[in-house]
Structure 1
Amino acid sequence: MLNMTFTRLPFLLLFLTIACYIWFYTSPTFLNEYGTYQPEWPLLVDALITIPLVCYLSIKDKKQASIKAIAYCALIILFGAYFIPAQQKFIWHYLEQARYLVLALVLFVELIVIASVIAAIKTNLNTHADPDESLITPLKRWLKSGPVLNLMQFDMRMWVFCLFAHKIKSENYIGDQHFWYANKDDAKGNALGFIFLMVFEIPIAHLVLHFAWSPLAANVISLLSIFGLVLFIGEYRAMSRRPISLTHTHLIVRYGLYNPLYIVLDNIQSVSPHHEFVPRSNEVNRYNFSGVPNIEIKLRSPIGGKSKIYLGVDSPSMLLNSLCKGTNNKN
């Protein structure tokens, strides 16, 4: 717990620094001679010395500390570009130009890392190993377990299914029995419809925004829309390739691009048919693309704070029967 607090210290310091300097540069007080003296040097010291130093002291992983220090410095330089009065800027003008170079360098390094991971994953996909394991093994060489690893798993799975879905064989996933969900309430057809709509909408929206608003806004929104299109394509291809699987000890819930959820059969209190809408809740996990979930799983011990799991599958009776047999055998 204490280690986690130290890890968050640079972000808390960044937030506090920005809040304090917003007040310093916008409010006339005796500290800035009532608005007549608002120099750049205090923010310069905090941006280039204080925050990087705190990053290196509080984060053990020096690579992660360096990336955060550079990113936080770039954010403060961006902040200073808008809040420091123009007549008080002397060094800041040069930093404003340099931040683009630094950000480009960081992006370039991260793209090389991602490209290396994708290459390793592509190589592993040619084997008969579980595709999810093939995905996480290269990532673990770069990242430790935690939210960042979970996010990167999802992100890399999106790109892998978008670009290399043809290399993924469903039979390679771990499991004695596989169950599917792509045809429930025509989920796969709906996803394909959204993809076609986005393909037609993106260029039209780009032209409208370009001439009616601004070229920059059009480019930003179009890039975000293209990212969303990649997400939908990856989800669409994952639906028919990533199964929900049952082993003699676990139910492995793989659903589209979601990170897999491993449920120990001994931890299943009950499993039953379900036919009602399930509202969002802190105690509920829903795996369902369209319509309402058709299977309810109650857990003895919560997983990640979730005590109920709701699934939407093509053949609920088959999964129910298999789960009942599996849990009865374990009991």
Structure 2
Amino acid sequence: MQTLSKKNIPFIFLVVISFFWAFFYQSSNALNGYGEEKSEWLLLIDGFVVLPILCFWFIKDKKEAVIKTVAYSCLIILLGSFVIPESSKVVWPYLESLRYLAIAVFIVLEITTIFTVFFAIKASLNNEQDPDLAISKPIESVFGKGAISSLLSFEARVWTYALFSKKIRRQGFTGDSHFSCHKKDGAQSNQLGFILIILFELPVMHLLLHFLWSPFAANVTTALTLLGLVFFIAEYKAIAIRPISILPDSIIVRYGIWNPLRIALSEIAQVQPNSAFITRSSNVNRFNLAGNPNIEIKLNSGKLIYLGVDLPNEFLMTIEKYREKLLQQAV
């Protein structure tokens, strides 16, 4: 948590100075000599000296620090173009021109990185490596471990299962015992139903928006719907491939395309069947698409994790067997 808070300091500073300088340049008060002193160099120092120093000071990964420095600098230029009075702009018009160049370079670098990661993932899948590791390792090697790599791993998993699901084998996943969850209460069949509904109503919705609203709105809505459809297709394929796995010391919960959750057996206080409806809560994690979850896992911390698996009795027996072995080893 301490490392995470330090990494957030540059962004927090960006938000604070954005509000402060927006107020400073857009009002008349004692700070700016009642409108007489609104020099652009004040924002230049904070945005292009202090902010980059904070990025490189608090972000250990230097590539991430460079990326955030460029992104934050572009946001500062955008902010200044709106809040600094035209009469006070001397250097800013040149910076506004450079902003587009920086954005273009940033996009080129990101596209290059995406293709590099894509081919690394493809090579790992061909080598029959654990599919989750095949996706996450190339991304983490570029971006390091953290929120950004987790988000990119999720996105990469969406496209991997949407386009290359045939290359992924259940046997390749880490684990001694694998359990499926796509047959429970017709979970995968329900997903297929949603996909067919989206495909059916997509052209109708596009035509209605095109003629009743505008062609632009129709195109944007259709594009967003197609992206959502990619997600549903990936989830439909992944839920039948990615298993919930039990290892001698832990459980790996893989559900659809979501990032895996590893639960140490030593952290589990109780495992039992469940048949009740479970409401959303900050203390509850649910991995279940249809019906009520049939497995309840209570951790020593009091946190509850609910699963929906195809063979709940066999799942419970397997966990108990591994927990007993773990206790015997501890004794």
Map 1:269-308 to 2 at 5 A: 269-300=269-300, 302=301, 307-308=303-304
The more displaced of 190-199 and 175-184 is 190-199
1:265 to partner: Cα distance:
2.9
Partner of 1:157: 157
Map 1:111-126 to 2 at 5 A: 111-126=111-126
Give yes or no for contact 1:253–1:262 (8 Å, CA) kept in 2: yes
Give yes or no for contact 2:63–2:143 (8 Å, CA) kept in 1: no
From 312, 321, 330, the equivalent of 1:325 is 321
1:135 to partner: Cα distance:
1.9
Cα distance between partner residues in 1 of 2:253 and 2:313:
17
From 301, 309, 312, the equivalent of 2:308 is 312
Cα distance between partner residues in 2 of 1:29 and 1:62:
40
Look up the equivalent residue of 1:104 and give its one-letter code.
A
Give yes or no for contact 1:180–1:314 (8 Å, CA) kept in 2: yes
Q: Structure 2: where are the runs of 5+ without partners?
A: none
Give yes or no for contact 1:268–1:327 (8 Å, CA) kept in 2: no
Q: Does 1:73 align with 2:73?
A: yes
Question: Per-residue CA shift, 1:212-235, capped at 9, x if unaligned?
Answer: 666666555544433322222211
1:37 to partner: Cα distance:
5.4
Look up the equivalent residue of 2:323 and give its one-letter code.
T
Superposition CA RMSD, Å = 2.7
Give secondary structure in 2 for the equivalent of 1:270: strand
The more displaced of 49-58 and 208-217 is 208-217
Cα distance between partner residues in 1 of 2:153 and 2:251:
20
1:9 to partner: Cα distance:
2.2
Cα distance between partner residues in 2 of 1:212 and 1:33:
52
1:23 to partner: Cα distance:
1.0
Q: Does 1:7 align with 2:7?
A: yes
Map 1:170-319 to 2 at 5 A: 170-202=170-202, 205=205, 221-300=221-300, 302=301, 307-319=303-315
Cα distance between partner residues in 1 of 2:204 and 2:108:
31
1:149 to partner: Cα distance:
2.7
Cα distance between partner residues in 2 of 1:101 and 1:215:
30
The more displaced of 165-174 and 318-327 is 318-327
1:69 to partner: Cα distance:
0.8
Question: Per-residue CA shift, 1:37-85, capped at 9, x if unaligned?
Answer: 5443322333333322332233332211111111001112222233233
Give yes or no for contact 1:242–1:256 (8 Å, CA) kept in 2: yes
Give secondary structure in 1 for the equivalent of 2:241: coil
> Quick one: structure 1 residues 329 and 41, their matched pair in 2 at CA, closer, same or farther if it must change by over 3 Å?
closer
Cα distance between partner residues in 2 of 1:79 and 1:111:
26
Question: Per-residue CA shift, 1:95-152, capped at 9, x if unaligned?
Answer: 3343233223212211211211111111111123221122222223213323233222
Cα distance between partner residues in 2 of 1:12 and 1:115:
31
> Quick one: structure 1 residues 299 and 54, their matched pair in 2 at CA, closer, same or farther if it must change by over 3 Å?
closer
The more displaced of 215-224 and 168-177 is 215-224
Partner of 1:145: 145
Give yes or no for contact 2:64–2:143 (8 Å, CA) kept in 1: no
Cα distance between partner residues in 2 of 1:212 and 1:286:
41
1:33 to partner: Cα distance:
4.1
Look up the equivalent residue of 2:314 and give its one-letter code.
M
The more displaced of 225-234 and 122-131 is 225-234
The more displaced of 277-286 and 156-165 is 277-286
Give yes or no for contact 2:271–2:295 (8 Å, CA) kept in 1: yes
> Quick one: structure 1 residues 318 and 2, their matched pair in 2 at CA, closer, same or farther if it must change by over 3 Å?
closer
> Quick one: structure 1 residues 209 and 274, their matched pair in 2 at CA, closer, same or farther if it must change by over 3 Å?
same
Cα distance between partner residues in 1 of 2:2 and 2:310:
46
Question: Per-residue CA shift, 1:160-188, capped at 9, x if unaligned?
Answer: 11121110011211223221111222221
Cα distance between partner residues in 1 of 2:138 and 2:282:
32
1:275 to partner: Cα distance:
1.2
Partner of 1:34: 34
Partner of 1:105: 105
Question: Per-residue CA shift, 1:230-266, capped at 9, x if unaligned?
Answer: 2222111101100112233332211111222222334
Cα distance between partner residues in 1 of 2:72 and 2:81:
14
TM-score (norm 2): 0.87
